[in-house]
Amino acid sequence: MKKNEKAVITIIGQDHPGILAGAATQVAEVNGNVLSVSQAVMEGIFTMTMIIDIAGMTVPLDSLEEKVAAAVPDMKVKVMHENIFNAMHTI
Amino acid sequence: MLNIQDIIETVQMIQEENLDIRTITMGISLIDCADSDVDQSCRKVYDKITRRAEHLVATGETLEKKYGIPIVNKRISVTPISILAGVSGGDPVKYAKALDRAAAATGVNFIGGFSALVHRGFSAGDRELIEAIPEALAETEIVCSSVNVGSTKTGINMDAVRLMGEKVRKAAELTQDRQCIGDAKLVVFCNAVEDNPFMAGAFHGIGNADCCLSAGVSGPGVVRAVLADMPDDAPLDQVAEEIKKTAFKITRVGQLVGREAADLLGVPFGIVDLSLAPTPAIGDSVAHILEEIGLEKTGAHGTTCALAMLNDAVKKGGLMASSSVGGLSGAFIPVTEDEGMISAARAGTLSIEKLEAMTAVCSVGLDMIVIPGDTTAEVISAIIADEAAIGMINSKTTAVRVIPAIGLKEGEELDFGGLLGSGPVMKVRPQSPAKMIHRGGRIPAPIQSLKN
């Protein structure tokens, strides 16, 4: 991965303890660096987005997605390069 | 700076609303493969395609993983083969087989370009290629064929129209033990475009560079979901505005992925085709957008108007999102590939006549329509002639991809499976147009052609 590249992890599902910790542990294990986290729980539904620096990451994004998904079962997990969000939402 | 709502919106589009890149298509010129010996020419064709497209599928898969968005198809389009057949002579089916082998070797889903452009007349290789189409489609798996029979500039080649009616019928007969699949891979165009990345009508026009990469986006489900969130009494100008904004977002993804794929492959970026392309999957239907706009069922009176607005708004939104828009760019209405269209056809609200009217205001034509197995070649030619006339007069691309379901009658069902879907056999008028079709000749270019 190149310098300053970022990816976005989103986790959506039923709230329960340990979701953020589970995801963050997986990111750390592959040498990703968490830059910011925002989360909300509305009517029991947990929504989290985590922006991570992937410049030094040791595995590709799809492998990280599998790891995080395994760490927080029953949650919808998606890991995507930030470019897709920038392309869609900025002019 | 990214905000959480934008992120969730994008993820939702992909996870819940079937947003995908429908295709990345590599256009490859085969002009330098032409040889006076047909077997030598076929070898060069195979070598060039497998060399140029060697990494196409792997590149697509890399980008799917990076952006978390499916790229449903990886495809190749090539120079119209009639040009090579004109140089080499010999049996054009050999070219189709070479294309099929090359496509299989690269792992792509389809290869298009078993094509001829005969809108003013036939040159060397054209008639031979057209004659070979049914056999070529029956003996290959993923080769697609198209023939351009008319244009606004030249009028309509009615000899070609007559021939194509016969070939459509023959292609169905030769593949009748496989759901007449030959005709799902055959398109007859008026005003064909040189840079269409969508099948079955893709070919790499001779005005293009040696090799380029284009992308076709999709996303009817996303547009429908946005409209479903609007109040029922929102005026239509607001509806159009929302469609425009959504089309912008969808197209930006196509532009991002297409350009990056081109860079990774080391070829120039071609175009983004802005089309809303449905699939038979639940929630991926253009018909359901029309119904969300406010029709009880697609095919009802008002359908043409709703589609015209949709098509126009998609273009306006997409145009700003991409530096290079091309292809067909609009809304596709293939009947068997669209859950809502299939349902409307089964219910009898959607007729061929209504579909014909719809093709005057959207991007292509009578697409993936199953017609009775006993439909004559002349009637098929007349269907082609009607569509070509709409395209010629309105300066737009129109096309016909109909499937005479050999052995089936009106109301029975033909099921292709996969992206091609299934659909009921639709009613056609049995009255004979034979006298007109057998006159042959040419419909002169219309007054619209004199723009200089």
Verify whether the Cβ–Cβ distance A84 to B256 is below 8 Å.
Answer: yes
Q: Which residues of A touch B (CB under 8 A)?
A: 8, 10, 12, 38, 40, 47, 49, 51, 60-62, 65, 76, 78-89, 91
**Best of A65, A89, A90, A91 to disrupt the B interface by mutation (most B CBs within 10 Å)?**
A89
Number of Cβ atoms within 10 Å of the Cβ of B416: 20
Name the closest residue on chain B to residue A37, using Cα atoms: B4
Q: Is residue A1 part of a domain?
A: no
Instruction: Tell me if chain A has a CB within 8 Å of the CB of B68.
Output: yes
Dist CA B204 CA B200 (whole Å): 13
Mean pLDDT, chain B cut into blocks of 10 residues (452 residues total): 86 88 96 97 98 97 94 96 97 98 98 97 97 98 98 98 98 96 97 93 95 92 93 96 94 94 96 89 91 97 97 93 88 92 95 96 92 97 98 96 95 88 93 97 95 84
Instruction: Tell me if chain A has a CB within 8 Å of the CB of B7.
Output: yes
How many separate domains does chain A show? 1
The two beta strands, A6-14 and A76-81, are antiparallel
Name the closest residue on chain B to residue A62, using Cα atoms: B65
> What pLDDT is attached to residue B296?
97
Verify whether the Cβ–Cβ distance A51 to B2 is below 8 Å.
Answer: yes
Nearest CB neighbour to B69, from listed A38, A84, A89 = A84
> What pLDDT is attached to residue A1?
53
Non-local (6+) Cβ contacts of B29 within 8 A are B78, B79, B204, B206, B208, B209, B210, B211
Instruction: Tell me if chain A has a CB within 8 Å of the CB of B11.
Output: yes
ipTM: 0.88
Distance from CA of A67 to the nearest CA of B (A): 14
Residues of chain A contacting residue B67, judged by C-beta atoms under 8 Å apart:
80-81, 83-84
Distance from CA of A89 to the nearest CA of B (A): 7
> What pLDDT is attached to residue A3?
66
Instruction: Tell me if chain A has a CB within 8 Å of the CB of B256.
Output: yes
Domain hosting residue A16, numbered range: 6-89
Dist CA B268 CA B258 (whole Å): 10
Dist CA B250 CA B255 (whole Å): 9
Distance from CA of B64 to the nearest CA of A (A): 9
Nearest CB neighbour to B8, from listed A47, A62, A87 = A47
Nearest CB neighbour to A88, from listed B4, B249, B320 = B249
> What pLDDT is attached to residue B16?
86
Verify whether the Cβ–Cβ distance A78 to B6 is below 8 Å.
Answer: no
Dist CA B142 CA B74 (whole Å): 12
B335 touches B350 (CB < 8 A) = yes
Give just the sign of the alpha carbon dihedral B442, B446, B447, B449.
negative
Q: Which tens digits make up the pLDDT trace of A2-47?
A: 667 999 999 999 998 999 999 999 999 999 999 999 988 887 889 9
- Crossing angle between the packed helical segments B339-347 and B286-293, to the nearest 10 degrees: 70
Name the closest residue on chain A to residue B6, using Cα atoms: A89
Omega cis (within 30) before B388: no
Instruction: Tell me if chain A has a CB within 8 Å of the CB of B5.
Output: no
* Inter-chain CB pairs, A–B, below 8 Å: 68
Instruction: Tell me if chain A has a CB within 8 Å of the CB of B252.
Output: yes
Query: Can you list the alpha helix ranges (DSSP code H) found in B19-76?
Result: 38-52, 56-67
> What pLDDT is attached to residue B282?
82
Verify whether the Cβ–Cβ distance A84 to B65 is below 8 Å.
Answer: no
Spell out a b/e string for B27-52, using b for 16 or more CB atoms within 10 Å of the CB, else e. Answer: bbbbeebbbeebeebbebbbebbeeb
Distance from CA of B374 to the nearest CA of A (A): 49
**Best of A80, A82, A91 to disrupt the B interface by mutation (most B CBs within 10 Å)?**
A80
Report, as an integer, the average pLDDT of A72-89.
93
Q: Which tens digits make up the pLDDT trace of A50-60?
A: 999 999 999 99
By C-alpha distance, which of B318, B292, B313 is closest to B303?
A: B292
Q: Is residue A74 part of a domain?
A: yes
> What pLDDT is attached to residue B323?
85
Q: Is B232 exposed, middle or buried (0-12, 13-18, 19+ CB in 10 A)?
A: exposed
CATH label of the domain that carries residue A78: 3.30.70.260
Dist CA B325 CA B404 (whole Å): 34
Q: Is residue A85 part of a domain?
A: yes
Instruction: Tell me if chain A has a CB within 8 Å of the CB of B8.
Output: yes
Q: Is residue A11 part of a domain?
A: yes
